[in-house]
Structure 1
């Protein structure tokens, strides 16, 4: 695939379609305004933009926004626009307008107030509270803030520092408020209850996310593969898979992982650790998701039914696995003997016959 802006060749998963974007007219406007390039559907030219160029567009937009804000701040301080009637337009609408004479910004009030103060320090604080008055700017991303302490807190997002640590689980956070919310999880108090299944949560955000399991809502969409997610953090983790970077390497088998969570789960295959235990039968699991699937067996509820043979399952994932038998397709093939399997885990087990790996050891006689 060829990028419309830099003409560089890039794979489809590392680029986005100009017309397939959730807001295609917005992306076209940014290209036209920032690059002075007219983009039309069916013009015979490349219709994709690489992620690098898309990022550069975002940075340029942020810079232009900062310029508009700073210009308005300067005019406000000089008394040039103490009383102007403003139109109901957003800042981005101003940026898209090619007429340089357009410099009004949408404000909450129809005119700037003429309030007076006895001392200069109160006047300065009041001006910062006005829409558009953000005097403390980040040198990295050009984002502006009303107060200096907010800028300091924002800078932590660039450095990766997490100064606030939980004394119970040693988890670290960038903000004190995030640590305060986190501590509620350790308190055991769950005040937010789901009206559908009556499950309770310590945090309101946890309840909001949980409700999406009932509604099926997935508001966070990946721009590369268009896959949707119910939680933003899951989308952020998913997007790392598209970069191809795998910084987490196992010191035992040298296998690499893009996500730390996947790396931690993998280590349990070497240590044999199974931290998640069923309270009914005491069976242990390496992953929490496997424990949750197992617990559904005890409930006896099987809401997922196969449309072909009408067999029921407690989990949708088990139904998906079962439906593969009806298709007859075996997508997982051994590259050594070309034997095929319906499921990946069976291929992994089969490969041990070629590698000689014996991961299961008897605790009594130590036989492998």
Structure 2
């Protein structure tokens, strides 16, 4: 299939139909507005674009929006008599104003959006409708300010930088949250158990644990959860699904956060150091587990042999020895092991052979 914009051939799975994704006039208006090319059905020309051109088109639109907003902000700073409110500008408004001669699908949306009254905006919040959509990732929002704030992520501009680790952020809000990882600040405290949290949303979720209500139930083992995403993660232990794979060692994980933590092991950087024995770790959680070994306290005890452990995970692995559960099987000699660590160590024998 031949691309309408670059004329390069591409397989069908690497091409996008101009007149069908995700709206019959979605790509048509982008091409007409940004490239000044008239696109019509049955004009005898290619009716698909390759993924490369589609990505370039999205980048161009994101860049155009950033330029429009920067220009309007500069006019306001100079006291330009044009009364422009950047908070009220929709992405569709920017595209339509750039080429008013084209009666586009976006212009129709602009006319509808401009008639939205404050009372109607409040009604949208209550009905949970999200009529405003990001042109790049198609994520929807109920308020214009939320959409404008989100689109800054696509602009590639990160004006806020952390003074500790120099990590950049697109929004000041994200920087404030990130700084708490350095300062250890947890401003949101539960009044029942006095546990503190970095995010307000985490506190709201935590409070549900005190109610005892767990509406999301597993159909396999009937275990219940407070939040739906916890159930989704739990179901992977039944299905064996591990969608997140490390590109270096190809190890798979059920959660993205686990993969992100695992990747730090490959960097060789160990910024978290023990104050007692000066041993270093890549992950903060590993350091916290290590510190328990210095206290001498082993609260987790085996009910069979009464052996004690500092960590619950160590006790769970130990219990498999008594249960004789060997879930980890060697794909070469089919020998089974109770722990993955023993299987990895065993496979080294085959490599030597």
TM-score (norm 2): 0.50
Structural mapping, 1:7-156, within 5 Å? 147-156=118-127
Show structure 1 runs of 5+ residues with no match: 1-145
Number of equivalenced pairs: 219
Higher relative helix content: 2
Kept after mapping to 2: 8 A contact 1:194/1:211:
no
- Over 3 Å counting, the alpha-carbon distance change for 1:367 and 1:309 in structure 2 is closer
- Over 3 Å counting, the alpha-carbon distance change for 1:203 and 1:315 in structure 2 is same
Kept after mapping to 2: 8 A contact 1:304/1:313:
yes
Which of 247, 258, 262 is matched with 2:215 structurally?
247
Show structure 2 runs of 5+ residues with no match: 1-116, 337-353
- Establish whether residue 267 from structure 1 lines up as the match of residue 235 from structure 2: yes
Question: C-alpha displacement at 1:321, in angstroms?
Answer: 0.8
Which of 153, 156, 179 is matched with 1:189 structurally?
156
- Over 3 Å counting, the alpha-carbon distance change for 1:150 and 1:254 in structure 2 is same
- Over 3 Å counting, the alpha-carbon distance change for 1:181 and 1:265 in structure 2 is farther
- Over 3 Å counting, the alpha-carbon distance change for 1:260 and 1:190 in structure 2 is farther
- Establish whether residue 321 from structure 1 lines up as the match of residue 289 from structure 2: yes
- Over 3 Å counting, the alpha-carbon distance change for 1:190 and 1:211 in structure 2 is farther
Question: C-alpha displacement at 1:247, in angstroms?
Answer: 1.8
Q: Deviations over 1:306-327 (max 9, x none)?
A: 2332222222211111122222
Q: Deviations over 1:79-100 (max 9, x none)?
A: xxxxxxxxxxxxxxxxxxxxxx
Kept after mapping to 2: 8 A contact 1:217/1:230:
yes
- Over 3 Å counting, the alpha-carbon distance change for 1:365 and 1:226 in structure 2 is same
Question: C-alpha displacement at 1:342, in angstroms?
Answer: 1.7
- Over 3 Å counting, the alpha-carbon distance change for 1:297 and 1:235 in structure 2 is same
Question: C-alpha displacement at 1:355, in angstroms?
Answer: 5.6
Question: C-alpha displacement at 1:213, in angstroms?
Answer: 1.9
- Establish whether residue 333 from structure 1 lines up as the match of residue 304 from structure 2: no
Inter-partner Cα distance in structure 2 for 1:254 and 1:357: 22
Q: Deviations over 1:221-273 (max 9, x none)?
A: 22222222222222222222222222222222222222233323222223333
Question: C-alpha displacement at 1:165, in angstroms?
Answer: 7.3
Inter-partner Cα distance in structure 1 for 2:188 and 2:321: 42
- Establish whether residue 312 from structure 1 lines up as the match of residue 280 from structure 2: yes
Q: Deviations over 1:104-160 (max 9, x none)?
A: xxxxxxxxxxxxxxxxxxxxxxxxxxxxxxxxxxxxxxxxxx94224413424xxx6
